Chain A
Amino acid sequence: MVEFLHNNLAYLINGISVGGQYALIAIGYTMVYGILRLINFAHGDVFMIAGLMVVYMSTVLPMWLTIVLTLIMTAVLGFFIERIAYRPLRSAPRMSVMISAIGVSYLLQNCALYFTGGLAQSFPSISFLTKPVNIWGTSVIMAKVITPFLTLILIFLLLFLIKKTKIGMAMRAVSKDFETSQLMGIRINLVISVTFIIGCLLAAIGSILYFTCYPSVQPTSGGMPGLKAFVAAVFGGIGSIPGAVIGAFIIGICENIIKGGASIFGIQTNGWTTFSDAFSFALLIVILMIKPTGLFGEKSTDKV
């Protein structure tokens, strides 16, 4: 065990860090699903747009301001996506909203394509996050070390908000019953806007951490992490925040251990690196077959 840890420490740290990044995106999927029963396909692209915002703004603005503005503008983007593409379809069949979400996804990707000219934009190095740190003889960048901690802090804040505050109580009520919530005086549109803003804010933080670990941002960069986070949300039980977070960490860690080529339970995974993505999706298929509601999913997926 110790030997396994020692040999794979870099992959493990990587996995935990990637897991944290997936978790930050997965929360956006799971919260929106919890309230609107909508898979927000545009979420991965919002994540990518946040990355591009950093790229473009950092060329003219100091880094701290770039980060602050990116967080704000991504939240605003989320607000407007909901306002323009989803709210008018509030009483439409769920399928229509989903198609609208796919439309927004393509719109964002194509806007990104237009602005970047299809070229990969190199992500600026945020000196604080790219600083190397030494952990038990393995050198990793700061972003990877702080990601899991930052993720956990944000999740505790979020759970506090949902369990203990008035708006959190309203979110829980709206996720169960639109009509009765309205009878309590809750403005459901406001609650839904807040949900999108929180989801996008977390995605923006995830985006900064994620792209710091990679050289560049492309219009399609949101696709894979978005999908992985979605798988994590389904794995944990879509609609459940703790579920999404645990799912994200499991997927992040497994995928990186596989990349490490370690022997797991006596099975040599050497040369399986190419299959690390396939692992996530195989997991999705298995989960949907064995336990469609995921680890912590609600028993009834349909809303009355």
Chain B
Amino acid sequence: MLKITDLHVSYGGIKALRGINIEVPDGKIVTLIGANGAGKSTMLRTICSLVKADSGSINFDGQEMLGQPIYSILEAGIAMVPEGRKVFADMTVLENLKIGAYLRKDSAEIQKDIEWVYSLFPRLKERHWQLAGTLSGGEQQMLAVGRALMSRPKFLMMDEPSLGLAPIVVQDIFKIIRTINDQGVTVLLIEQNANMALKIADLAYVLETGQITRFGTGAELLADESIKEAYLGKAQANA
């Protein structure tokens, strides 16, 4: 579905990504783990065109995505849940969902999808009139995911969805990721919570200072001693 070949990106004069090759097969959950500053966010931002690449190729369903404007990427079916949720705090929950469907014109279908998002996140339905800024962190994360789903993506990217959330809420979020994936949406997940991410992922890549250093199924990497040492550490013991 998504195939990245030899992607080079520099960010403020620093080479953030140095020759990345990644493949995300249709219908899978793929995760990208790595330390802070390894280039994980830069990669997602490059895919959705917020950051310009130096060279390489991003192929999505046979179409070249590199250099396309952001809205075409979205139109092609790629949506992103940004890091830190970034809900529109002074808009209502419902408005946030509607703005997620900004590029769509089929209002009857949009209404159906709002109901669909409400069925995934019943909490959002209860609070649909509330300003998004008054929601809890977990609810905001649900809203951010719901908003991204409103564009009816085939491919959903999530940047650190567990960031700053209580462990029990993180569990919920990961359950939701599973549900969304079961409904046919391919997921590319970036996580610092490597333990959770590897458990849910079909495939995993390890990113270190702008390069992919490891690749395998989630279970393989989870069992790997060096990965345990570098990324799991305490998290493994807690789980």
Contacts and interface: CB of A to CB of B under 8 A. Distances in A.
Interface string B142-163: 0000010001000000000000
A163 to B, nearest CB: 10
A177 B102 contact: no
Interface string B52-87: 000000000000000001110011000110100010
A180 B88 contact: yes
Contact of A180 (B75, B82, B151): B82
A178 to B, nearest CB: 10
Interface stretch (B29-37, B91-99, B171-179): B91-99
Contacts, number: 54
Interface in A149-197: 166, 169-170, 172-173, 176-177, 179-180, 182-187
Nearest to B99: A184
Contacts of B91: 169, 172-173
A176 B102 contact: no
Contacts of B151: 184-185
Contacts of A185: 70-71, 74-75, 102-103, 151
Contacts of B86: 177, 179-180
Interface string A9-43: 00000000000000000000000000000000000
B26 interface: no
B99 to A, nearest CB: 5
B100 A179 contact: no
Contacts of A176: 88-90
Given A183-B74, A185-B71, A170 B88 contact: no
B111 to A, nearest CB: 15
Interface residues of A, number: 15
B48 to A, nearest CB: 7
A144 B89 CA distance: 40
Contacts of A172: 88, 90-91
B50 interface: yes
Contact of B98 (A169, A179, A186): A169
Interface residues of B, number: 23
A183 B80 contact: yes
Contacts of A184: 74, 99-100, 102-103, 147, 151
A194 to B, nearest CB: 14
Contacts of A180: 82, 86, 88
Specify which of B82, B86, B147 lies most central, judged by the most chain A CB atoms within 10 Å of its CB: B86
Given A169-B95, A170-B102, A183 B48 contact: yes
Nearest to A166: B102
Specify which of B69, B70, B74, B95 lies most central, judged by the most chain A CB atoms within 10 Å of its CB: B70
A88 B91 CA distance: 30
A185 B152 CA distance: 13
A173 B70 contact: no
Nearest to A170: B102
Contacts of B95: 169
B114 to A, nearest CB: 15
A179 B99 CA distance: 14
A249 to B, nearest CB: 25
B88 A177 contact: yes
B128 to A, nearest CB: 15
Contacts of A179: 50, 82, 86
A52 B99 CA distance: 41
B99 A173 contact: yes
Interface string B120-155: 000000000000000000000000000100010000
Contacts of B89: 176
Contacts of B48: 183
A182 B50 contact: yes
Contacts of A166: 102
A111 B125 CA distance: 57
Contact of A182 (B70, B75, B88, B90): B70
Contacts of B79: 183
A172 B90 CA distance: 9
Contact of A183 (B75, B82, B90, B98): B82
A186 B70 CA distance: 9
B146 to A, nearest CB: 13
Contacts of B102: 166, 169-170, 184-186
Given A184-B99, A184-B147, A186-B71, 7 more contacts: A170-B99, A173-B91, A173-B99, A179-B82, A180-B82, A180-B88, A184-B103
Which 10 residue pairs spanning A and B have beta carbons closest together?
Answer: A185-B103, A185-B71, A180-B86, A185-B74, A182-B70, A184-B102, A185-B102, A184-B99, A183-B80, A173-B88
16 contacts: A169-B95, A169-B99, A170-B99, A170-B102, A172-B90, A173-B99, A176-B88, A176-B90, A177-B88, A180-B82, A180-B88, A182-B71, A183-B48, A183-B50, A184-B100, A185-B75
